[in-house]
Amino acid sequence: MKLIVDDKIPFIRGLAEQVADEVVYLPGAAITAGDVRDADAMIVRTRTLCNRQLLEGSRVQFIATATIGYDHLDTHYLDEAGIRWTNCPGCNAASVAQYVRNSLMQAERAGLIRLAEATLGIVGYGHVGRAVGQALQPYVKRILVNDPPLSIPQATLRDIAASCDIITLHTPLTTEGPYPTWHLMDEQLLSQSERRPIVINAARGGVADEGALLRAMDEGRIRQAIIDTWENEPEVNSELLSRAFIATPHIAGYSADGKANATRMSLEALARHFRRPMVDAPLTIPAADPMRTGLRYNPIDDSLALKQAPQTFEQLRGNYSLRRE
């Protein structure tokens, strides 16, 4: 069995070889139809668009993405072609929660908000949204959640806009179905904001309309933005980059712990699909600098790196300095 692996997936070398007979490591954005033609499986990240153009005529029968999001997978085509696919829900939920909590602590130090008096609105209450709520519950006054597909007591988006001092987005990116999330945070929603919230997007770039965010900042309808995901990655909106309180290169979920979870989940799914034994070898995660661990991690450090050199978005993301939860 031949396996193609994005060469930026951490902790996977030596373990993938225990499941597959042949493993080829390639840059995710550079994987071509020729590379996958004789492959049986792939483990990718968001930089590999898995669609008809890449896969038609190949012998690929299984794809794992070592990410929560899967909008880079053309699932309609994969299902039609009989190619099984899987993602890693919840793998980096604690990492994103750490990023959001620590970013808001920096916002408080900068005088932008008083967390003990704040109402937090969480839009999207899956693995990540729940982890964010748990991480911030000790610090904020009240939490409202919105996730229409879930059968839980929840607020409307109008309630969130009207009542919240912080609005943080944690939905998948979808354009179809009863609850599409493309530009969920748009001009209309932002026009309803009454408490000049801090807006956080650590979900997918297209969930927030970046033009609408900038206009809301101009008009004083939001007090600040914390942006980790961008509409046109790896290109970033230069004006939003310069004006956002924190602007990072899609690394909220990039703790070493979250990456290890995703790698393990992907390999386990691969082994199950091909009915191969998964060698129970531990993923060795190095110790991180204490200043990039737990509550000490400061997202402003990652923000400064991107603001100083936005053209290095992919390098900053692909060579992210070790961080522990």
* DSSP codes joined into one string, 71-138: TTB-HHHHHHHT-EEE--TTTTHHHHHHHHHHHHHHHHHTTS--GGGPEEEEE--SHHHHHHHHHHTT
Residue type, position 129, single letter: G
Rg for the chain, CA atoms, rounded: 20
> For residue 325, which of 235, 255, 250, 223 has the smallest C-alpha distance?
255
Cα 142 to Cα 115: distance, rounded to the nearest angstrom = 10
Tell me which H or E stretch contains 313: helix 313-318
Looking at the annotation, which residues are catalytic?
204, 233, 250
